[in-house]
Structure 1
Amino acid sequence: MHRPSLNTAKKTIFRHQNPFLDLPFLTNNLLNQIHRYPFVFSFKFSSIQSPYSPPSSSLQIIDTSDAKPLSSPLSTFLPYTHNPNNLVDLICLNLKLNDGNAVSLREEVQWVLPQLGTHEISRVLCRCQSSPLSALNFFNWVKFDLGLRPSVQNYCIIVHILVWSQEFSQSMKFLVELANGECPSLVVFKNLVSCTEDCNWNPIVFDILVKAYVKVGNVEEGLKAFKEIVKIGLLPSVSASNAVLNGLLKSNRVDECWEMYNEMGRVGIPSNGFTFNILTHVLCRDGDVGKVNEFLEKMEEEGFDPDVVTYNTLINSYCKKCRLDDAFYLYRIMYRRGVPPDLVTYTALMKGLCKENKVKEAHQLFHQMIHRGLDPDTVAYNSLISGYCKEGKMQKARLLFNEMVSSGLMPDDITCRLLIQGYRMEGRLLSSLNLIAQLQRLGVLIPSDIYNYLVFALCQDNRPNAANSLFQRMVADGGEGNLETYNCLIVSYCKFDSINEALALKDEMAREGLKPDLLTYRALISCLCRLSVRKAELLTKEMVEAGPRDLLNCFVIGALFEGHAGRRNLIQKNDLFSNSFKEYGARCTKTVNALAELDCSSINYANLHLLEKKLLPVGISPTRLFYHSLISKLSGYVSGQPVFA
Structure 2
Amino acid sequence: MNRASTKLIRKAAPFSSDVPSITPIPPSSSSSSSSSSSSSLQLITPPSSKSLANPLYTFLPQTQNPNEIVNIISSSLKQPNADLCLLQARINHLLPHLGPAEISRVLLRCQSDSVSALSFFNWVKYDLGLSPTPRNYCLIVHILAWSKEFKPAMKLLTELIQSVEELSSGEDVFQSLVLHSEDCNWDPVVFDMLVKAHVKLGGVKEGFNAFMKAIEAGFVPTVSSCNCLLNGLLKSNLTAQCWDVYDEMGRTGIRPNEFTFNILTHAFCRNGDVSKINEFLEKMEEEGFEPDIVTYNTLISSYCRKGKMADAYYLYKIMYKRGVMPDLVSYTSLMNGLCREGKMKDAHQFFHRMVHRGLNPDVVAYNTLISGYCREGRVQEAKALMYQMIGNGICPDSFTSRVLILAYGKKGGRLISALNLAVEVERLGVPVSWDVYDYLVVRLCEEEKPFAAKSLVERKARDGYEPDMLVYEKLIVSLCKVDCLVDALFMKCEILRREGKLGVETYKALIFSLCRTGRSAEAKSLADEMVLDGIVLDLEICRALIFGYCKERDVGKAQALLESFAMGVGIFDNESYHEVARVLSEEGGDMMKLQQRMSKVGYKPSSLTFMYTIQAMTKNSKRVSKERETCSPSLICLEA
Do they fold alike, i.e. is TM over 0.5? yes
CA distance, structure 2, for counterparts of residue 630 and residue 397 of structure 1: 65
**What corresponds to 1:78 in structure 2?**
60
Instruction: Specify the SS of the correspondent of 2:85.
Output: coil
Find the partner of 1:634 among 590, 610, 634. 610
CA distance, structure 2, for counterparts of residue 405 and residue 117 of structure 1: 67
**What corresponds to 1:136 in structure 2?**
118
**What corresponds to 2:75 in structure 1?**
93
1:430 corresponds to which letter in structure 2?
A: I
CA distance, structure 2, for counterparts of residue 511 and residue 497 of structure 1: 20
Residues 275-294 of structure 1, C-alpha deviations (whole Å, 9 max, x = no match): 22211211212333343234
Find the partner of 1:363 among 348, 353, 365. 348
Residues 369-397 of structure 1, C-alpha deviations (whole Å, 9 max, x = no match): 33333333332233233223323333443
The verdict on how the C-alpha distance between 1:76 and 1:437 changes in structure 2, with shifts beyond 3 A counting, is: closer
Instruction: Specify the SS of the correspondent of 2:273.
Output: coil
CA distance, structure 2, for counterparts of residue 67 and residue 436 of structure 1: 72
**Worse overlay, 329-338 or 199-208:** 199-208
**What corresponds to 2:306 in structure 1?**
321
**What corresponds to 1:170 in structure 2?**
152
User: 5 Å matches for 1:521-532?
Assistant: 521-532=507-518
Instruction: After TM superposition, give the deviation of residue 636 of structure 1 in Å.
Output: 6.3
2:106 corresponds to which letter in structure 1?
A: V
1:362 corresponds to which letter in structure 2?
A: A
Find the partner of 2:290 among 281, 305, 316. 305
User: 5 Å matches for 1:205-354?
Assistant: 205-231=190-216, 233-354=218-339
Instruction: Specify the SS of the correspondent of 2:330.
Output: helix
2:382 corresponds to which letter in structure 1?
A: A
Instruction: Specify the SS of the correspondent of 2:406.
Output: helix
TM-score between the two structures when normalised by the length of structure 1: 0.76
**What corresponds to 1:122 in structure 2?**
104
Instruction: After TM superposition, give the deviation of residue 563 of structure 1 in Å.
Output: 0.5
The verdict on how the C-alpha distance between 1:190 and 1:498 changes in structure 2, with shifts beyond 3 A counting, is: closer
2:137 corresponds to which letter in structure 1?
A: Y
2:211 corresponds to which letter in structure 1?
A: F
CA distance, structure 1, for counterparts of residue 436 and residue 355 of structure 2: 31
List alignment gaps of at least 5 residues for structure 1. 1-38, 43-61, 617-621
Residues 194-253 of structure 1, C-alpha deviations (whole Å, 9 max, x = no match): 544542333322211222233334444433433444455543221112122223323433
Note if contact 2:51-2:66 (Cα within 8 Å) is conserved in structure 1.
Answer: no
Note if contact 2:137-2:156 (Cα within 8 Å) is conserved in structure 1.
Answer: yes
Residues 443-490 of structure 1, C-alpha deviations (whole Å, 9 max, x = no match): 323322222212211221122233233333323444223443333233
1:449 corresponds to which letter in structure 2?
A: D
CA distance, structure 2, for counterparts of residue 589 and residue 547 of structure 1: 18
**Worse overlay, 331-340 or 144-153:** 144-153
Note if contact 1:565-1:594 (Cα within 8 Å) is conserved in structure 2.
Answer: no
CA distance, structure 1, for counterparts of residue 124 and residue 340 of structure 2: 61
The verdict on how the C-alpha distance between 1:264 and 1:424 changes in structure 2, with shifts beyond 3 A counting, is: same
Instruction: After TM superposition, give the deviation of residue 304 of structure 1 in Å.
Output: 3.8
**What corresponds to 1:463 in structure 2?**
449
**What corresponds to 1:9 in structure 2?**
none
The verdict on how the C-alpha distance between 1:637 and 1:571 changes in structure 2, with shifts beyond 3 A counting, is: closer
1:225 corresponds to which letter in structure 2?
A: A
**What corresponds to 2:140 in structure 1?**
158
**What corresponds to 1:59 in structure 2?**
none
Note if contact 2:107-2:140 (Cα within 8 Å) is conserved in structure 1.
Answer: yes
**What corresponds to 2:403 in structure 1?**
418
CA distance, structure 2, for counterparts of residue 510 and residue 636 of structure 1: 45
2:482 corresponds to which letter in structure 1?
A: F
Instruction: Specify the SS of the correspondent of 2:187.
Output: coil
Note if contact 2:518-2:552 (Cα within 8 Å) is conserved in structure 1.
Answer: no
The verdict on how the C-alpha distance between 1:543 and 1:287 changes in structure 2, with shifts beyond 3 A counting, is: closer
Residues 1:204 and 2:186 are matched in the alignment: no
The verdict on how the C-alpha distance between 1:94 and 1:539 changes in structure 2, with shifts beyond 3 A counting, is: farther
Instruction: Specify the SS of the correspondent of 1:103.
Output: helix
* Matched positions, count: 566
Instruction: After TM superposition, give the deviation of residue 171 of structure 1 in Å.
Output: 1.5
**What corresponds to 1:481 in structure 2?**
467
2:579 corresponds to which letter in structure 1?
A: E
The verdict on how the C-alpha distance between 1:631 and 1:148 changes in structure 2, with shifts beyond 3 A counting, is: farther
**What corresponds to 2:624 in structure 1?**
none
Residues 21-64 of structure 1, C-alpha deviations (whole Å, 9 max, x = no match): xxxxxxxxxxxxxxxxxx9xx9xxxxxxxxxxxxxxxxxxx735
Note if contact 2:367-2:400 (Cα within 8 Å) is conserved in structure 1.
Answer: yes
2:600 corresponds to which letter in structure 1?
A: K
Find the partner of 2:521 among 537, 540, 559. 537
CA distance, structure 2, for counterparts of residue 128 and residue 312 of structure 1: 51
2:610 corresponds to which letter in structure 1?
A: L
Note if contact 2:195-2:208 (Cα within 8 Å) is conserved in structure 1.
Answer: yes
TM-score between the two structures when normalised by the length of structure 2: 0.76
Residues 1:446 and 2:432 are matched in the alignment: yes
Note if contact 1:64-1:115 (Cα within 8 Å) is conserved in structure 2.
Answer: no
Instruction: After TM superposition, give the deviation of residue 158 of structure 1 in Å.
Output: 0.8
Instruction: After TM superposition, give the deviation of residue 124 of structure 1 in Å.
Output: 1.0
**What corresponds to 1:492 in structure 2?**
478
The verdict on how the C-alpha distance between 1:108 and 1:360 changes in structure 2, with shifts beyond 3 A counting, is: same
**Worse overlay, 164-173 or 331-340:** 164-173
Instruction: After TM superposition, give the deviation of residue 159 of structure 1 in Å.
Output: 0.8
Residues 85-132 of structure 1, C-alpha deviations (whole Å, 9 max, x = no match): 323112323444694544355554455555544432221111122443
2:331 corresponds to which letter in structure 1?
A: Y
Residues 269-320 of structure 1, C-alpha deviations (whole Å, 9 max, x = no match): 2322322221121121233334323433444444543222221122112222
**What corresponds to 1:472 in structure 2?**
458
**Worse overlay, 233-242 or 334-343:** 233-242
CA distance, structure 1, for counterparts of residue 264 and residue 160 of structure 2: 30
How large is the Cα RMSD of the aligned pairs? 3.9
User: 5 Å matches for 1:588-603?
Assistant: 588=571, 593-603=575-585
CA distance, structure 2, for counterparts of residue 346 and residue 363 of structure 1: 11
Q: Does 1 or 2 have the higher relative contact order (CA < 8 Å, sep 6+)? A: 2
Instruction: Specify the SS of the correspondent of 1:458.
Output: helix
The verdict on how the C-alpha distance between 1:129 and 1:551 changes in structure 2, with shifts beyond 3 A counting, is: same
Residues 1:610 and 2:597 are matched in the alignment: yes
The verdict on how the C-alpha distance between 1:581 and 1:112 changes in structure 2, with shifts beyond 3 A counting, is: farther
Note if contact 1:599-1:605 (Cα within 8 Å) is conserved in structure 2.
Answer: no
Note if contact 1:565-1:595 (Cα within 8 Å) is conserved in structure 2.
Answer: no
**Worse overlay, 337-346 or 254-263:** 254-263
